[in-house]
Amino acid sequence: MKKDTNLPECERCLNRREIRVTRADNRMMPCPKCQEPQYRDACRAVLRKKLKTTAGKLADYKWGDLDISEGLRARILDWMLDEPDGTGLTLIGEVGRGKSTIALTSALEYCVRHDIYDVLYVFVPKLLRQLRGTWDKNPDLDTEVNMIKRLEDCDLLILDNIVAGKEYAAGVLLEILDGRLLHRRTTIATSKHGMPELVGLLAEHGEDIVSRLVTMNGKAIRLEGKNRHIEGLE
């Protein structure tokens, strides 16, 4: 995992996260200072700041404040406490059910627990527009390739709002997911469409994309309830 220079420095282990038990043997144990809540809070702040650049206020929500059912909390905690092995989450649900909020909040907590700092959030429809923008300005393919590579390589990626896409969009999505699956990198995906429905919405790549998502994350989690965007306005 890549080191982040913005992280608060732990002077006990120099951000190695482990210390030797005694000088004589080679046994290592987790660094007690890095486990302290104050240190974790400082790490959370670094991650929040990083995610805020693309996720805005979605990055402000706290895991402990989420209003979710016990079942859902347990399901996400199950994932969160496992060692990272490339398994992520797929969240589906209609507009305003909390997909983006839960995706961001769970991702941030997962990253703190597993010491992951190379994390990116992208709103998929915007990403595709930006990729096409790099093409218009600079048709030498370089920027497009670099953008896709960053998304393929980061330790944790949040792909928010996978929607219907034509040939180009679906091709990009497939390339990203394929690279991530191959290298077992964690991906959190959200969509208003269920998996079978998505197959038909992503040009000729639908089946490939959905198969990869299912291989990585297993069954999608469906978020129920009301549209929280308009709750309280009625």
Ligand X SMILES: Nc1ncnc2c1ncn2[C@@H]1O[C@H](COP(=O)(O)OP(=O)(O)OP(=O)(O)O)[C@@H](O)[C@H]1O
Told to check if 228 binds ligand X by CB under 6 A, we report: yes
Which one, 100 or 217, has the nearer CB to Mg ion? 100
In contact, 79 and 87? CB cutoff 8 Å: yes
Residue choice 55, 68, 76, 176 for contact with ligand X (CB under 6 A): 68
Nearest to 46 by CA among 150, 119, 149: 119
Told to check if 43 binds Zn ion by CB under 5 A, we report: no
Query: Could you give the C-alpha distances from 107 to 2, 48, 58, 102, 165, in angstroms and in order?
Result: 17, 10, 11, 8, 25
Residue choice 8, 15, 54, 96 for contact with ligand X (CB under 6 A): 96
CB of 163 to Mg ion, least distance (A): 11
Q: Number of residues in contact with ligand X, rule: CB under 6 A? A: 16
Told to check if 191 binds Mg ion by CB under 5 A, we report: no
Based on the number of CB atoms within 10 Å of its own CB, is 201 exposed (0-12), middle (13-18) or buried (19 or more)?
Answer: middle
H/E stretch holding 156 reads strand 156-160
Which one, 100 or 105, has the nearer CB to Mg ion? 100
Told to check if 100 binds Mg ion by CB under 5 A, we report: yes
In contact, 41 and 53? CB cutoff 8 Å: no
Binding residues for ligand X (CB under 6 A): 66-68, 93, 95-102, 161, 192, 228-229
Contacts to Mg ion by CB under 5 A:
99-100
